[in-house]
């Protein structure tokens, strides 16, 4: 979970990331424009069957939410509060492993997995109106998850390993024995700064309009361990979109992204702290992705704007042993304005060809109206499958919170955050209960145990699903690892980077 170098190598123990969720079972084929975008991704009454089946024994019913045969590991769970202002439920959840008739874990559906029960914070926690856990629950043969009442919304994300994988099944005794390691890893997640030695590379400069400057990295096998960038002035919030970061490794450009989307800040300076990225209140933006190369590297910054910018860039470069499993870090960006909300559509984050591992994204939207914009589900296809391995239940669910129309406050966690929503961020917390989701919102999710390996292809779409017929702005930074033969459909787009969506009337452009 805290091995940043591990995700820069293709997994030796092959697995595919999959998910069971309460997505609406009417969603079957993209050509069905009604069923594919239907919104009721939960079970509100007995007529809804957005789960696997109901089992009954001795007069007692259990609703089956997940039933995986084969070795695997649960690596993420998400469930919303059943009432937006009440973090509790009467529903009991049970997790059965390896065909054992007795559950290895059972308890309150929210309390078991929200950091207040057996699994400690920060592995499990309450985000905004959700119960979220990243604690791994491995199993050698099978996993079945049930509830004793009709479920509401849910997501269980798991690794499905090859049949010959040797997995040690979760037990309470092993959990107790591992507690010192759990505590150590938890402390690392909450204190993500690198304490490493390496060569320091820096660039301190003023960039004129349309100017680009670069700094070369040490020659030979090496890896960027940490990269930071600070602008002197963020008064004009558009500067985080008009200043672009570019990185080359071994003669190939693998990173092209506006700095706000690359570091997770979005439009303007919106501080937060995560395991892979931190945006500080003083304007320093840091990423800790491991970025290996074999022979050479170069970092460049370009100012697409009309106004000069002063910047300080620093990189720590450490050792790396390149092998057949090593991969290059990639960071790309897509932006579009306007994006019509009718008819409903899938908006493609990225489509990748070749072998690699997808590791995260940061979405910034501009919503011109007060009503909620994020009902859209993520749909992720891996290696040419006929139906997505992962079919979600809402954009905010993908980013690990819920009740999006009300959840406009800032929040952060090692693996996900909402750095900005409406007018709120870490420097301006929400104190009222108004339901206004207009303006800019930035959501980000990075992956550790829930990375997504792919052998031949990966396609990630997010539904554009607003309650209002309007025109939105979308921009997303995406991050993955791949070989030199791995390609994407994302290309540098200076014109769109400068096509910054205007805020709705009544809001200043300088946030």
Condensed to tens digits (0 to 9), the pLDDT of residues 260-301 reads: 999 999 999 999 999 999 999 999 999 999 999 999 999 999
Percent of the chain beyond pLDDT 90?
A: 94
Q: What φ, ψ does residue 186 adopt, rounded to 5°?
A: -60, -40
- pLDDT confidence of 371, banded at 50, 70, 90? very high
Mean pLDDT calculated for residue range 143-154: 96
Q: Where are the domains of the chain?
A: 51-190, 199-497
Sign of CA dihedral 438, 364, 125, 67: positive
pLDDT at 510: 47
How far is CA 485 from each of CA 156, 481, 488, rounded to the nearest angstrom?
A: 32, 11, 10
pLDDT at 505: 67
Identify the three-state secondary structure at position 29. coil
Q: Do domains 51-190 and 199-497 have the same CATH topology?
A: yes
pLDDT digits (tens, 9 = 90+) for 149-191: 999 999 999 999 999 999 999 999 999 999 999 999 999 999 9
Is the pLDDT reported for residue 511 higher than 70? no
pLDDT digits (tens, 9 = 90+) for 441-493: 999 999 999 999 999 999 999 999 999 999 999 999 999 999 999 999 999 99
> Which residues is 247 bridged to in the sheet?
255, 299
> Which residues is 371 bridged to in the sheet?
none
Cα gap 325→331, rounded to integer Å? 19
Cα gap 401→472, rounded to integer Å? 21
Mean pLDDT calculated for residue range 317-326: 97
Classify domain 51-190 by CATH architecture.
Sandwich (2.60)
Is the pLDDT reported for residue 375 higher than 60? yes
Cα gap 393→374, rounded to integer Å? 10
Closest by CA position to 283, among listed 320, 249, 252, 310: 310
Q: pTM for the complete prediction?
A: 0.97
Please provide the average confidence, as pLDDT, over all residues in the chain: 96
Is the pLDDT reported for residue 507 higher than 80? no
How far is CA 256 from each of CA 134, 265, 301, 333, 338, rounded to the nearest angstrom?
A: 30, 16, 10, 7, 22
Which residues, other chains included, contact 298 with Cβ-Cβ below 8 Å and sequence gap of 6+?
214, 215, 216, 217, 247, 248
pLDDT at 88: 86
Q: What φ, ψ does residue 183 adopt, rounded to 5°?
A: -65, -40
Q: DSSP letter string over 165-177?
A: ---PPP-HHHHHH
Cα gap 34→405, rounded to integer Å? 23
Mean pLDDT calculated for residue range 304-325: 97
Q: How far is CA 437 from the centre of its chain?
A: 20
Is the pLDDT reported for residue 506 higher than 80? no
pLDDT at 46: 87
**Helix residue spans in 339-476 (DSSP H):** 395-398
Cα gap 294→314, rounded to integer Å? 20
Cα gap 339→347, rounded to integer Å? 9
The per-residue b/e assignment along 40-74, b for 16 or more CB within 10 angstroms, e otherwise, is ebbbeeeebebbeeeeeeeeeebbbbbebeebbbb
- pLDDT confidence of 391, banded at 50, 70, 90? very high
Reported in sequence order, the residue ranges of 135-218 that DSSP labels E, i.e. its strands, are 137-139, 142-147, 155-161, 199-207, 212-216
pLDDT at 504: 84
pLDDT digits (tens, 9 = 90+) for 244-257: 999 999 999 999 99
The CATH number of 199-497 is 2.60.120.1390
Output the CA angle 69-71-72, nearest 5 degrees. Answer: 100
Q: DSSP letter string over 474-494?
A: EEEEEEEEE-TT-EES----H
């Amino acid at each position: 979970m805290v091995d940043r170098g591990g995700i820069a190598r293709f997994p030796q123990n092959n697995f595919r990331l999959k998910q069971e969720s309460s997505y609406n079972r009417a969603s079957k084929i993209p050509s069905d424009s009604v069923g594919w975008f239907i919104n009721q991704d939960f079970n509100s009454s007995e007529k809804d069957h957005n789960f696997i089946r109901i089992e009954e024994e001795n007069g007692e019913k259990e609703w089956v939410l997940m039933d995986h045969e084969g070795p695997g590991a649960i690596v993420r769970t998400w469930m919303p509060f059943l009432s937006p202002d009440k973090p509790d439920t009467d529903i009991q959840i049970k997790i059965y492993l390896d065909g054992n008739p007795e559950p290895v874990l059972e308890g309150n559906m929210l309390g078991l997995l929200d950091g207040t029960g057996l699994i400690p914070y920060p592995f499990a926690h309450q985000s905004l109106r959700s119960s979220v856990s990243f604690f791994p629950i491995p199993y050698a043969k099978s996993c079945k998850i049930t509830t004793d009442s009709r479920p509401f919304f849910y997501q269980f994300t798991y690794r499905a390993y090859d049949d010959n994988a040797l997995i040690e099944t979760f037990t309470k005794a092993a959990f107790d024995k591992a507690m010192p390691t759990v505590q150590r890893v938890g402390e690392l997640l909450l204190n993500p700064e690198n304490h490493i030695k390496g060569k320091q590379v820096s660039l301190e400069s003023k960039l004129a309009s349309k100017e680009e400057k670069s700094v070369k990295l040490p020659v030979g096998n090496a890896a960027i361990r940490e990269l930071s960038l600070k602008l002197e002035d963020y008064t004009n919030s558009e500067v985080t979109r008009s200043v672009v970061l570019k990185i080359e490794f071994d003669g190939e450009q693998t990173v092209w992204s506006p700095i706000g989307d690359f570091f997770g800040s979005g439009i303007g300076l919106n501080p937060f702290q995560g395991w892979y990225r931190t945006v500080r209140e003083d304007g320093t933006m840091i990423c800790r992705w491991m970025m290996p190369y074999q022979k050479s590297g170069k970092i460049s910054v370009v100012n697409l704007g009309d106004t000069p910018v002063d910047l300080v860039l620093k990189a720590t470069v450490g050792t790396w042993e390149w092998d057949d499993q090593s991969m290059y870090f990639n960071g790309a960006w897509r932006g579009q304005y306007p994006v019509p909300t009718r008819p409903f559509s899938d908006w493609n984050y990225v489509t990748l060809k070749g072998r690699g591992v997808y590791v995260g994204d940061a979405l910034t939207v501009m919503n011109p109206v007060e009503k909620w914009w994020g009902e859209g589900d993520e749909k992720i296809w891996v290696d040419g499958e006929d139906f997505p391995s992962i079919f979600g239940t809402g954009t905010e669910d993908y980013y690990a919170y819920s009740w999006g129309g009300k959840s406009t406050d800032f929040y952060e966690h090692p693996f996900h955050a909402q750095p900005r929503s409406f007018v709120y961020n870490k420097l301006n917390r929400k104190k009222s209960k108004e339901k206004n989701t207009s303006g800019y919102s930035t959501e980000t999710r990075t992956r550790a145990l829930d990375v997504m390996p792919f052998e031949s292809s990966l396609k990630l779409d997010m539904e554009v699903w607003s309650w209002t017929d309007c025109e939105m702005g979308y921009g997303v930074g995406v991050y993955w690892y791949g070989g030199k033969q791995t390609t994407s459909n994302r290309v540098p787009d200076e014109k769109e980077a400068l096509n910054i969506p205007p805020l709705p009337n009544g809001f200043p452009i300088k946030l």
